[in-house]
Structure 1
Amino acid sequence: MPFESPLSFLTGASASSRLSWSHFNLDFASGIAIFFGGKAALSALALQPLYGRIWHGWYNAPGCHAIVWELVRTLLQGSVSSYSERLSLSLGLDGKKGPKYIASRSGTVMQHTRHLAYVLNNSKWRGNECKPVVVGERRSPTPMQLIIVDLKKKVLTGNNTLPPRSSLHSSLPIIASATSIVACAICASVDDWLSFKMILLGIVSSGITSFIMCTAKITLERLKPADGVPPGDGMLLSDNRIVILRGNEEDVNAVTKGKLRLKLKGGGYTLLPCAFIALSQVTLQLVFMPFGSLPGQLMFLLSLLVSGGCNLYLSAKEDDVQSSALITLLNTPEVKTYEASSRASAAVLACLALCWESGTPPKQILKEIVPIEPRVWKAWSEFLEENIRKKSTHFMYGDNESTGDLDNREGKLLLDLIDDAHAAYDQYIKDHK
């Protein structure tokens, strides 16, 4: 055995130490990496019923522990036969609180609506018909968007399930699947069959769970209103957006009170194998993956990194995809969008949309959007009420009892409010001749 110089010995020992320390860290990393990305994994799973792609999810993904927890929690919270509501809540397909709703004809006020109203209020409306019409030129600190949704066709509920949809993001899982398959092949080429089996386990486990979820059906359940009730016209009101709903009471109720359900093809008992498979994946990968070779662990981490990135991207787009899909349940409503320069302009548009044909007193709508008790606002609201009552084709105003007591500052504000009302009034009449 040749004699080694002290310098060569120290260099070799240092390199060996770094390799051992690196390998130790990699053992640790490959063991705990599966616990990252739980929220993103749930979001990706929730998109399966919306996409309906049986080849989605066939990749080695992190975050399965979160899926196990949600599925088990769904089963433990009640009987297997009543799982559909709890499952939609667990996956985030239902359960969010929508904005306040004011029914213009009946006077009903709901402080919080349900998930579909939340989706409707937060949706990024697309298409030429949804291109906002700018109303008013005054720069106000409180601009608002107003969207008029006419529910001309019957909202799809009960047995009418939401059909799967495609999107720009629906092909992204192919990249994650290809990466996991290549990682398996590389592990086989270096004879690391342990890492090969662990990656393959992740592909099969995630794939089976995704396949079962993609066959699920999303349905909307609603309460049938009493006979003879008036149309359910009203508005969803939030800080910077007003959504006007016009249609019969039953369809508007589906938006404000409807409950979304996720029904699996095999029933609630299908959740048991899904939870067992995901739990097996987490347990086996946690126990055995640290014993893989260095190349195998690198391939395992690479597959998790790419698939986790895919899940994270899909999670970021979940609201967009969900709103685009769930609005399909409204059966292609007619939509008109306005970008009001001030809250006063938005209030005028809301009054015209809800009061012009129905005869509802505008004051009932105005008091929910703007203050009408101060003298200047009271005078302005009286002008608006008179124009709507007379069904004037142009906004008219003049002196009355309320304007006589206004000082110079209030007079200037009144002129600004009249300009807002004039712009909104004329634009609405032009669009709805």
Structure 2
Amino acid sequence: MPQDLLTKTSFNLDTSGIAGFFGGEEAVTAMSTVHFFSGRWLLGWYNSPGSYTIAKCYGRLARGKLWRGLFLGDGSDPAELFGLGGKKGLRFVAAESGTNLAATGHLAYLLSKRCQGAEIEAQIIAGNRRNSCVNVSIVHLRCAPETRRYVESKRDSFSIFLALLTIFTNIAVCIVSAVYRQWYSFAMILLGITANGISCLVIGSAILELRHSQPSAGSPRGDGVIINDRDMIVLVGDEGAVNFVTGGSFLLDFSSKSISGGKDGSRKGQDLVKSAAQGHNVFPNDNMIPDSGSTATRKSLSDVALPSRVESLPSPSPSKPSNLNKIGACALLLTVQFVLQLLLIPQSSLFGQILFLFSLAVSWAYNSYLASLDRESLQINIISECLNLRPVAHKPVPKYDLATWTGAAVFVAYVLRPSNCRELLDQIIPNNTTTWSKFKEEIVHDVKSAPQLVAGEKDSNTVITQRAQVVDANIEPAEDA
């Protein structure tokens, strides 16, 4: 009988050596997606590989000397550990308030990634020279988000289907192990299902929020420009909206309310922020608009998202050590699982080891799917919806392509029309020789006398293009000075 060959053979796979390490990176990344998908925190009941890797990574969240000794770390910030923070944004120069930030925050980094990935709606090349491409994106911030808001996870039917398939497969394999009296395999699969399920419940029950500082009363408009070596992003909006971009951050609240009460209980009665991404596409297709200056057609830069409905949340209580210690307990449980697998799986027969390995393989495949999802894209969709960024009918927000850095700086001055235009030009173009100063004064005079232009309108695009070409023709004498 084939069954006898599997149960009575002396051959040993010894899968215990890979059970705690195989698929560890995928498992850690999969766990970090738990706050993005609705119900994901309830769907962790499968025998996940990489238990020791997960324990070492997320055990650092626990506070206290005991946990610090078991899981070496310095009490990492939860948001950074889950890939929701820690990225530095680019330099920001305000047009009116005088703010000059050498580095912005994580949300500005996400917005810059959003603009870099957008296709150019209309390529506008000013002048004859083209040393390097300078892209200028214009983002109209139509609403100022509340200083604190809860972010609702998106519903993904396909992800739920894969999770249920993985769970039922693991349970079926566990039952088969019991039917054929493979008790070591049965016990280790059941322990793996329990340990991973509890860990998902505890880690995933945290509340994901967005927060930023409240601007002081009477603050001027927050218009400004985000600058790097090759691109500029013009932000047009009030101080609150710009503060959200330049200094906002994600927050994971592990308070007792979120962990003991669960997500549904703690969030009852709040309006939900639904993700704009469908099928994880960050840049939905816009209407194709013909480019009068080129035979090619490009997509709009417009930040696309559905209108959001959000409510301010009361300031969350800091995550208490006792609550974070629950994560430490989960990490300890995962470590115990790893040790027991090392000891008991070799005692099982070949058939039991094959069943155990099969449950790991199915779970690894599901973890690999979750790890393949772009977490930055999911975050970009969240902030796009919070800022209510969407295309305006007949007024697509363009992304301009200029020939020189100086031409791009002058273009930004035309769009923002700051009260202190010279100061803005000095921040973007630090050259202050006599020739450059004269050139800047001419630009300041022209900007002040020019009518207000709205980037994206057909007539304004034509005027801006013509002026950019004239300015670019006058740049050479200044640059040669």
| Same fold? TM cut 0.5 | yes
Partner of 1:56: 43
In the superposition, relative to structure 1, how do residues 156 and 200 fare at CA in structure 2: closer, same or farther (>3 Å)?
farther
Q: Letter of the aligned partner of 1:390 in structure 2?
A: S
SS in structure 2 of the partner of residue 149 of structure 1:
strand
Partner of 1:11: none
SS in structure 2 of the partner of residue 308 of structure 1:
helix
Give the deviation of 1:162 after TM superposition: 0.8
Query: Is 1:338 aligned with 2:327?
Result: no
Partner of 1:354: 416
Q: Indicate which of 154, 161, 183 corresponds to 1:165.
A: 154
SS in structure 2 of the partner of residue 170 of structure 1:
helix
Distance 2:244 2:107 in 1: 8
Maintained 8 Å contact 1:167/1:321? no
Partner of 2:92: 101
In the superposition, relative to structure 1, how do residues 248 and 341 fare at CA in structure 2: closer, same or farther (>3 Å)?
closer
Q: Letter of the aligned partner of 1:247 in structure 2?
A: G
Partner of 1:5: none
Maintained 8 Å contact 1:151/1:246? yes
Partner of 1:35: 21
Maintained 8 Å contact 2:203/2:327? no
Partner of 2:232: 242
Q: How many residues align?
A: 378
Distance 1:366 1:168 in 2: 52
SS in structure 2 of the partner of residue 183 of structure 1:
helix
Q: How does 1:222-301 map to 2 (within 5 A)?
A: 222-264=212-254, 265-266=258-259, 268=320, 269=323, 270-301=326-357
Q: Indicate which of 364, 367, 389 corresponds to 2:448.
A: 389
Partner of 1:420: none
Give the deviation of 1:125 after TM superposition: 8.8
Maintained 8 Å contact 1:217/1:262? yes
Partner of 1:216: 206
SS in structure 2 of the partner of residue 39 of structure 1:
helix
Maintained 8 Å contact 1:37/1:308? yes
SS in structure 2 of the partner of residue 297 of structure 1:
helix
Query: Is 1:134 aligned with 2:160?
Result: no
SS in structure 1 of the partner of residue 88 of structure 2:
coil
Distance 1:69 1:373 in 2: 54
RMSD: 4.1
Maintained 8 Å contact 1:48/1:56? no
Distance 1:254 1:388 in 2: 28
Partner of 2:276: none
Give the deviation of 1:45 after TM superposition: 1.9
Distance 1:86 1:383 in 2: 50
In the superposition, relative to structure 1, how do residues 347 and 295 fare at CA in structure 2: closer, same or farther (>3 Å)?
farther
Maintained 8 Å contact 1:121/1:241? no
**Which whole-Å deviations, capped at 9, do the CAs of 1:385-412 have from their partners, x for residues lacking one?**
4543321663359999x969959x97xx
Give the deviation of 1:365 after TM superposition: 4.4
Instruction: Say which is worse superposed, 173-182 or 277-286, in terms of deviation.
Output: 173-182
SS in structure 2 of the partner of residue 134 of structure 1:
coil
Larger helix fraction of residues? 1
Q: Indicate which of 361, 364, 382 corresponds to 2:424.
A: 364
Give the deviation of 1:175 after TM superposition: 4.3
SS in structure 1 of the partner of residue 355 of structure 2:
helix
Give the deviation of 1:227 after TM superposition: 2.7
Distance 1:240 1:122 in 2: 13
Q: Letter of the aligned partner of 1:228 in structure 2?
A: G
Distance 2:434 2:219 in 1: 36
Distance 1:124 1:397 in 2: 22
In structure 2, stretches of 5+ residues that fail to align are: 1-8, 68-73, 260-318, 452-459
Give the deviation of 1:234 after TM superposition: 1.7
Maintained 8 Å contact 1:60/1:180? yes
Maintained 8 Å contact 2:60/2:75? no
TM-score where L is the length of structure 2: 0.66
Indicate the structure (1 or 2) with the bigger Cα radius of gyration. 1
Give the deviation of 1:343 after TM superposition: 4.8
SS in structure 2 of the partner of residue 242 of structure 1:
strand
Maintained 8 Å contact 1:45/1:210? yes
Maintained 8 Å contact 1:230/1:249? yes
Partner of 1:197: 187
Distance 1:373 1:277 in 2: 64
Q: Letter of the aligned partner of 2:380 in structure 1?
A: S
SS in structure 2 of the partner of residue 50 of structure 1:
coil
Maintained 8 Å contact 2:147/2:213? no
In the superposition, relative to structure 1, how do residues 38 and 404 fare at CA in structure 2: closer, same or farther (>3 Å)?
closer
In the superposition, relative to structure 1, how do residues 374 and 39 fare at CA in structure 2: closer, same or farther (>3 Å)?
farther
Give the deviation of 1:361 after TM superposition: 1.0
**Which whole-Å deviations, capped at 9, do the CAs of 1:178-210 have from their partners, x for residues lacking one?**
443343344345432221221222222212222
Partner of 2:275: none
Give the deviation of 1:161 after TM superposition: 0.6
Partner of 1:303: 359
In the superposition, relative to structure 1, how do residues 190 and 41 fare at CA in structure 2: closer, same or farther (>3 Å)?
same
Partner of 1:415: none
**Which whole-Å deviations, capped at 9, do the CAs of 1:102-151 have from their partners, x for residues lacking one?**
2222232222222222222223799xxx7631322579563344332222
**Which whole-Å deviations, capped at 9, do the CAs of 1:17-39 have from their partners, x for residues lacking one?**
xx86xx45x30x43223213333
Give the deviation of 1:93 after TM superposition: 1.6
Q: Percent identity?
A: 28
Give the deviation of 1:338 after TM superposition: 0.9
Q: Letter of the aligned partner of 1:73 in structure 2?
A: R
Distance 2:475 2:389 in 1: 49
Instruction: Say which is worse superposed, 221-230 or 334-343, in terms of deviation.
Output: 334-343
**Which whole-Å deviations, capped at 9, do the CAs of 1:239-258 have from their partners, x for residues lacking one?**
44433222222332232223
Distance 2:431 2:357 in 1: 62
Partner of 2:166: 176
In structure 1, stretches of 5+ residues that fail to align are: 1-18, 411-433
Q: Letter of the aligned partner of 1:340 in structure 2?
A: D
Give the deviation of 1:261 after TM superposition: 1.5
Distance 1:337 1:283 in 2: 58
Maintained 8 Å contact 2:95/2:420? yes
Maintained 8 Å contact 1:145/1:337? no
Query: Is 1:72 aligned with 2:75?
Result: no
